Structure 1
């Protein structure tokens, strides 16, 4: 019970038991409990106690994947885009931006599990980095429209250049219908620069 109490303190302080230094007594004890669980040698009351403090008996890599996924999902819900900053790190120490690149690479190689791919698809994760950049600019344009009541974005700047290109593609008939619809939800007259002049 002493080791359990120490582990509970670590969990309460860090919010996670993943990435404990391998030589720590708590990490060694925890791994022994996982081995005992896999071997069916833990009593139900022991399992309940451990689960109550966040000890997850699933594969640690899968638990880290889920934590990173949850961090990404929360970030997207709060910010409306997928351009996570390079310094966004999970409680387990995983850099989310690197993890995103890894998910794309793993999928391209055909080795991303169907379960993980479906979870990412379900939250609208863009597999194409160009789509990610487009989504980021679209979210930025929506925030601009909300803040200013129009789409008269002044240049120079990335948002100005991006909107100019979307309007140009629209006039040339090269803007996909899905993109047109998303922009029209921001402002039905998004494509008419003259309409937004002050």
Structure 2
């Protein structure tokens, strides 16, 4: 059912009233995007606690997947497979790619 609602919205076939009801209850239209921003928020908390955003790939304090997520973002930045807006979000908290991290 959830997938159907998302497909209906993408194809502009979802009734406006239903879309409003789903928006009002906080329906997640793009689960992948929500996951990215959730991980980004975890990175922000890490940076606040440790004073930097250089998460080790094996970091597992409170969030075992944060190190892996950060490694994936670095890989995407290196291959230029990340949107400019996400890249800006990451740079806004001092995040750097591997190439720059080695110089740091």
Alignment of 1:46-195 (within 5 A): 46-58=18-30, 60-82=31-53, 83=55, 85-87=59-61, 88=63, 95-128=65-98, 129-130=101-102
Give the Å deviation of 1:99. Answer: 0.8
Q: What is the alpha-carbon distance in structure 2 between the residues aligned to residue 110 and residue 47 of structure 1? A: 34
Higher relative contact order (CA 8 A, sep 6+): 2
Q: CA deviation at 1:123?
A: 1.4
Pairwise CA RMSD:
2.3
Quick one: distance in 2 between partners of 1:105 and 1:53?
A: 35
With normalisation by structure 2, the TM-score equals 0.73
Change (3 A) 1:74 1:48: farther
CA distance in 2, matches of 1:79, 1:52: 36
Structure 1 unaligned runs (5+)? 1-28, 90-94, 135-198
C-alpha contact 2:28 2:34 (8 A) present in aligned 1: yes
**Structure 2 counterpart of 1:44:** 16
- Per the TM alignment, residue 33 of structure 1 is displaced from its structure 2 partner at its CA by 0.7
Instruction: Quote the offset at 1:31 in angstroms.
Output: 0.3
- Larger gyration radius, structure 1 or structure 2: 1
Show structure 1 runs of 4+ deviating over 4 A. Answer: none
User: Do the aligned partners of residues 74 and 47 (structure 1) sit closer, same or farther apart at CA in structure 2, a change above 3 Å counting?
Assistant: farther
- Give the unaligned 5+ runs of structure 2: none
